Protein backbone atom coordinates (compact mmCIF):
# COMPACT_ATOMS: atom_id res chain seq x y z
CA UNK A 1 0.00 0.00 0.00
CA UNK A 2 2.82 2.38 0.81
CA UNK A 3 4.15 2.02 -2.75
CA UNK A 4 0.99 3.61 -4.12
CA UNK A 5 1.33 6.48 -1.65
CA UNK A 6 5.01 6.99 -2.54
CA UNK A 7 4.23 7.15 -6.26
CA UNK A 8 1.31 9.55 -5.79
CA UNK A 9 3.24 11.86 -3.45
CA UNK A 10 6.34 12.05 -5.65
CA UNK A 11 4.14 12.71 -8.70
CA UNK A 12 2.34 15.50 -6.83
CA UNK A 13 5.65 17.12 -5.97
CA UNK A 14 6.89 17.01 -9.56
CA UNK A 15 3.57 18.39 -10.80
CA UNK A 16 3.91 21.32 -8.41
CA UNK A 17 7.42 22.06 -9.72
CA UNK A 18 6.16 21.99 -13.32
CA UNK A 19 3.21 24.22 -12.41
CA UNK A 20 5.61 26.83 -11.03
CA UNK A 21 7.55 26.79 -14.32
CA UNK A 22 4.36 27.19 -16.35
CA UNK A 23 3.11 30.00 -14.08
CA UNK A 24 6.43 31.87 -14.44
CA UNK A 25 6.23 31.60 -18.24
CA UNK A 26 2.67 32.86 -18.30
CA UNK A 27 3.54 35.78 -16.01
CA UNK A 28 6.29 36.84 -18.44
CA UNK A 29 4.37 36.41 -21.68
CA UNK A 30 4.53 40.18 -22.24
CA UNK A 31 8.02 40.79 -20.79
CA UNK A 32 10.42 42.24 -23.37
CA UNK A 33 13.04 39.73 -24.51
CA UNK A 34 12.00 37.04 -22.03
CA UNK A 35 13.24 33.50 -22.69
CA UNK A 36 10.76 30.85 -21.54
CA UNK A 37 11.67 27.80 -19.48
CA UNK A 38 10.98 24.52 -21.24
CA UNK A 39 8.46 22.14 -19.67
CA UNK A 40 10.17 19.40 -17.68
CA UNK A 41 9.90 15.82 -18.88
CA UNK A 42 8.65 13.17 -16.45
CA UNK A 43 10.31 9.80 -15.84
CA UNK A 44 10.40 7.06 -13.19
CA UNK A 45 13.13 6.06 -10.76
CA UNK A 46 13.34 2.64 -9.09
CA UNK A 47 14.75 3.13 -5.61
CA UNK A 48 15.81 -0.51 -5.16
CA UNK A 49 16.57 -1.32 -8.78
CA UNK A 50 19.45 -3.77 -9.16
CA UNK A 51 19.17 -4.98 -5.57
CA UNK A 52 17.94 -8.33 -4.34
CA UNK A 53 14.55 -7.02 -3.41
CA UNK A 54 11.04 -8.09 -4.22
CA UNK A 55 9.64 -4.78 -3.03
CA UNK A 56 11.05 -1.93 -5.17
CA UNK A 57 9.97 1.67 -4.68
CA UNK A 58 9.07 3.70 -7.74
CA UNK A 59 9.33 7.48 -7.71
CA UNK A 60 8.38 10.09 -10.28
CA UNK A 61 11.09 12.58 -11.26
CA UNK A 62 11.61 15.35 -13.80
CA UNK A 63 14.49 16.14 -16.11
CA UNK A 64 16.88 19.07 -15.78
CA UNK A 65 15.35 22.50 -16.34
CA UNK A 66 16.30 24.05 -19.70
CA UNK A 67 15.64 27.38 -21.40
CA UNK A 68 13.94 27.93 -24.75
CA UNK A 69 16.58 29.88 -26.69
CA UNK A 70 14.42 30.59 -29.74
CA UNK A 71 14.13 34.30 -30.52
CA UNK A 72 10.84 36.10 -30.02
CA UNK A 73 9.27 38.33 -32.66
CA UNK A 74 10.80 41.76 -33.27
CA UNK A 75 8.62 44.86 -33.44
CA UNK A 76 9.66 48.32 -34.60
CA UNK A 77 9.14 51.09 -32.03
CA UNK A 78 11.21 53.96 -33.42
CA UNK A 79 12.40 54.83 -29.92
CA UNK A 80 16.07 55.83 -29.71
CA UNK A 81 16.82 53.66 -26.66
CA UNK A 82 15.04 50.51 -27.83
CA UNK A 83 17.29 47.76 -29.19
CA UNK A 84 16.79 44.14 -30.18
CA UNK A 85 19.77 41.76 -30.24
CA UNK A 86 20.35 40.78 -33.85
CA UNK A 87 20.81 37.03 -34.03
CA UNK A 88 21.89 34.52 -31.44
CA UNK A 89 23.46 36.56 -28.65
CA UNK A 90 22.85 38.48 -25.44
CA UNK A 91 23.35 41.81 -23.75
CA UNK A 92 25.47 41.85 -20.62
CA UNK A 93 23.71 43.38 -17.61
CA UNK A 94 24.61 43.68 -13.95
CA UNK A 95 22.64 41.51 -11.51
CA UNK A 96 21.83 42.53 -7.95
CA UNK A 97 24.86 40.60 -6.67
CA UNK A 98 27.16 42.55 -9.00
CA UNK A 99 27.80 39.68 -11.42
CA UNK A 100 27.40 40.15 -15.17
CA UNK A 101 24.50 38.06 -16.49
CA UNK A 102 22.82 37.60 -19.86
CA UNK A 103 19.68 39.33 -21.10
CA UNK A 104 17.71 39.89 -24.30
CA UNK A 105 15.76 42.78 -22.78
CA UNK A 106 16.37 45.92 -24.84
CA UNK A 107 13.93 48.52 -23.50
CA UNK A 108 16.72 50.79 -22.28
CA UNK A 109 16.52 54.02 -20.29
CA UNK A 110 18.76 56.40 -18.37
CA UNK A 111 18.48 56.22 -14.59
CA UNK A 112 18.37 59.23 -12.28
CA UNK A 113 22.09 58.64 -11.67
CA UNK A 114 22.80 58.81 -15.40
CA UNK A 115 23.43 55.07 -15.85
CA UNK A 116 22.10 53.23 -18.89
CA UNK A 117 19.82 50.42 -17.68
CA UNK A 118 17.09 48.14 -18.99
CA UNK A 119 13.39 48.19 -18.19
CA UNK A 120 13.86 46.10 -15.05
CA UNK A 121 16.47 48.50 -13.64
CA UNK A 122 19.57 46.40 -14.40
CA UNK A 123 22.60 48.47 -15.48
CA UNK A 124 24.03 47.62 -18.89
CA UNK A 125 27.61 46.38 -18.83
CA UNK A 126 29.71 48.02 -21.54
CA UNK A 127 33.30 47.69 -22.73
CA UNK A 128 34.41 49.79 -19.74
CA UNK A 129 31.87 48.75 -17.12
CA UNK A 130 28.64 50.64 -16.55
CA UNK A 131 27.71 53.07 -19.33
CA UNK A 132 27.39 56.59 -17.92
CA UNK A 133 25.20 58.96 -19.94
CA UNK A 134 25.96 62.69 -19.53
CA UNK A 135 23.26 65.38 -19.89
CA UNK A 136 22.40 65.50 -23.57
CA UNK A 137 19.92 66.66 -26.13
CA UNK A 138 20.17 63.56 -28.32
CA UNK A 139 21.23 59.92 -27.87
CA UNK A 140 21.59 57.09 -30.35
CA UNK A 141 22.73 53.47 -30.44
CA UNK A 142 24.42 52.09 -33.54
CA UNK A 143 23.98 48.63 -35.01
CA UNK A 144 27.27 47.58 -33.41
CA UNK A 145 26.05 48.70 -29.97
CA UNK A 146 28.02 51.96 -29.88
CA UNK A 147 26.26 54.56 -27.73
CA UNK A 148 26.59 58.18 -28.86
CA UNK A 149 25.23 61.38 -27.35
CA UNK A 150 25.12 65.04 -28.31
CA UNK A 151 26.05 66.97 -25.14
CA UNK A 152 23.46 69.43 -24.01
CA UNK A 153 25.87 72.36 -24.39
CA UNK A 154 27.49 71.23 -27.64
CA UNK A 155 27.48 73.48 -30.72
CA UNK A 156 25.01 72.55 -33.46
CA UNK A 157 27.81 71.45 -35.77
CA UNK A 158 29.51 69.17 -33.23
CA UNK A 159 29.24 65.46 -34.07
CA UNK A 160 27.88 63.02 -31.45
CA UNK A 161 30.31 61.80 -28.80
CA UNK A 162 30.89 58.08 -28.11
CA UNK A 163 30.24 57.29 -24.42
CA UNK A 164 30.47 53.51 -24.55
CA UNK A 165 29.50 50.30 -26.29
CA UNK A 166 26.92 47.76 -25.24
CA UNK A 167 28.36 44.50 -23.95
CA UNK A 168 27.25 42.04 -26.63
CA UNK A 169 28.17 38.36 -26.35
CA UNK A 170 27.37 35.20 -28.25
CA UNK A 171 25.58 32.20 -26.80
CA UNK A 172 28.05 30.36 -24.52
CA UNK A 173 29.35 27.05 -25.84
CA UNK A 174 28.34 25.45 -22.54
CA UNK A 175 24.75 26.62 -23.00
CA UNK A 176 22.72 28.74 -20.61
CA UNK A 177 20.84 28.18 -17.38
CA UNK A 178 18.39 30.07 -15.15
CA UNK A 179 19.77 31.38 -11.88
CA UNK A 180 17.75 31.32 -8.65
CA UNK A 181 17.07 35.07 -9.06
CA UNK A 182 15.56 34.51 -12.51
CA UNK A 183 18.53 35.84 -14.50
CA UNK A 184 20.27 33.84 -17.22
CA UNK A 185 23.96 32.94 -17.14
CA UNK A 186 26.34 30.57 -18.89
CA UNK A 187 25.85 26.96 -17.77
CA UNK A 188 29.47 26.84 -16.58
CA UNK A 189 29.05 30.05 -14.57
CA UNK A 190 31.62 32.03 -16.56
CA UNK A 191 30.98 35.41 -18.20
CA UNK A 192 31.37 35.18 -22.00
CA UNK A 193 33.83 37.50 -23.76
CA UNK A 194 32.53 40.34 -25.92
CA UNK A 195 31.73 39.27 -29.46
CA UNK A 196 32.10 42.02 -32.12
CA UNK A 197 30.06 39.97 -34.60
CA UNK A 198 26.91 40.40 -32.48
CA UNK A 199 24.90 43.53 -33.25
CA UNK A 200 21.57 45.15 -32.44
CA UNK A 201 18.56 46.46 -34.33
CA UNK A 202 18.01 50.03 -33.15
CA UNK A 203 14.48 51.32 -32.62
CA UNK A 204 13.15 47.78 -32.12
CA UNK A 205 12.20 45.42 -29.33
CA UNK A 206 12.19 41.63 -29.14
CA UNK A 207 9.00 40.16 -27.72
CA UNK A 208 8.85 37.31 -25.22
CA UNK A 209 9.16 33.88 -26.85
CA UNK A 210 6.46 32.46 -24.55
CA UNK A 211 3.67 30.75 -26.51
CA UNK A 212 0.60 31.63 -24.44
CA UNK A 213 -1.59 28.95 -26.05
CA UNK A 214 0.91 26.18 -25.30
CA UNK A 215 1.41 27.48 -21.75
CA UNK A 216 -2.33 27.52 -21.01
CA UNK A 217 -2.74 24.03 -22.48
CA UNK A 218 0.15 22.77 -20.34
CA UNK A 219 -1.39 24.33 -17.24
CA UNK A 220 -4.67 22.48 -17.85
CA UNK A 221 -2.83 19.17 -18.35
CA UNK A 222 -0.83 19.65 -15.15
CA UNK A 223 -3.98 20.50 -13.21
CA UNK A 224 -5.63 17.28 -14.39
CA UNK A 225 -2.55 15.26 -13.48
CA UNK A 226 -2.48 16.86 -10.03
CA UNK A 227 -6.15 15.97 -9.49
CA UNK A 228 -5.50 12.38 -10.60
CA UNK A 229 -2.66 11.97 -8.09
CA UNK A 230 -4.80 13.49 -5.34
CA UNK A 231 -7.49 10.89 -6.07
CA UNK A 232 -4.84 8.15 -5.85
CA UNK A 233 -3.93 9.34 -2.36
CA UNK A 234 -7.59 9.18 -1.32
CA UNK A 235 -7.92 5.67 -2.76
CA UNK A 236 -4.78 4.57 -0.92
CA UNK A 237 -6.15 5.98 2.33
CA UNK A 238 -9.45 4.16 1.86
CA UNK A 239 -7.72 0.86 1.06
CA UNK A 240 -5.41 1.24 4.04
CA UNK A 241 -8.34 1.85 6.38
CA UNK A 242 -10.18 -1.16 4.93
CA UNK A 243 -7.12 -3.37 5.44
CA UNK A 244 -6.72 -2.16 9.00
CA UNK A 245 -10.38 -2.91 9.79
CA UNK A 246 -9.97 -6.49 8.56
CA UNK A 247 -7.05 -6.99 10.93
CA UNK A 248 -8.91 -5.83 14.01
CA UNK A 249 -9.78 -8.57 16.50
CA UNK A 250 -13.50 -8.54 17.29
CA UNK A 251 -14.24 -7.77 20.94
pLDDT in tens, 121-130: 999 999 889 9
Residue 157 confidence (pLDDT): 84
**Same domain for 173 and 189?**
yes
Reported as a single tens digit per residue, the pLDDT across 59-83 is 555 556 788 888 899 999 999 999 9
d(CA 35, CA 178): 10
8 A C-beta contact, residue 206 and residue 93: no
Count of the separate structural domains present in the chain = 2
Question: Which range has highest mean pLDDT (9-23, 99-113, 205-219)?
Answer: 99-113
**Same domain for 88 and 147?**
yes
8 A C-beta contact, residue 4 and residue 236: yes
Residue 138 confidence (pLDDT): 92
Cβ neighbours of residue 184 closer than 8 Å, sequence gap 6 or more: 35, 67, 90, 101, 102, 103, 176, 177, 178
**Same domain for 104 and 119?**
yes
**Same domain for 162 and 111?**
yes
d(CA 23, CA 58): 28
Grade residue 204 by pLDDT with cuts at 50, 70 and 90: very high
**Same domain for 150 and 189?**
yes
**Same domain for 13 and 111?**
no
**Same domain for 163 and 79?**
yes
Residue 214 belongs to domain spanning: 2-68+210-247
Residue 220 confidence (pLDDT): 77
**Same domain for 130 and 228?**
no
d(CA 98, CA 183): 12
What average pLDDT does this structure show over 193-215?
Answer: 92
8 A C-beta contact, residue 88 and residue 17: no
**Same domain for 104 and 148?**
yes
**Same domain for 193 and 92?**
yes
**Same domain for 87 and 9?**
no
Residue 144 confidence (pLDDT): 94
Last residue of a domain, one of 189, 206, 223: 206
Q: Is 52 exposed, middle or buried (0-12, 13-18, 19+ CB in 10 A)?
A: exposed
- Residue 210 above 80 pLDDT? yes
Reported as a single tens digit per residue, the pLDDT across 6-65 is 666 666 677 777 778 888 888 899 999 999 988 665 555 555 555 555 455 555 555 567
Grade residue 230 by pLDDT with cuts at 50, 70 and 90: confident
8 A C-beta contact, residue 49 and residue 56: yes
Residue 212 confidence (pLDDT): 83
Strands, E assignment, the chain: 42-46, 58-62, 74-76, 83-86, 89-94, 100-103, 109-110, 116-117, 125-126, 129-130, 136-141, 146-151, 161-165, 168-170, 176-178, 184-186, 199-202, 204-206
Residue 247 confidence (pLDDT): 63
**Same domain for 114 and 136?**
yes
- Residue 188 above 80 pLDDT? yes
What average pLDDT does this structure show over 226-237?
Answer: 73
- Return the sign of the alpha-carbon dihedral for residues 94, 34, 184, 221: positive
Amino acid sequence: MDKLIHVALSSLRQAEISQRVVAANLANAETVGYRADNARSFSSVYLNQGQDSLDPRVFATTGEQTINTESGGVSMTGRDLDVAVNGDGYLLVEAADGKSVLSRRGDLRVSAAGVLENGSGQPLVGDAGRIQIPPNRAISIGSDGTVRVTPIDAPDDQPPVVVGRLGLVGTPAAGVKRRADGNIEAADGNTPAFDPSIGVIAGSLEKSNVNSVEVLTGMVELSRMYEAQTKLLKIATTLDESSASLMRIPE
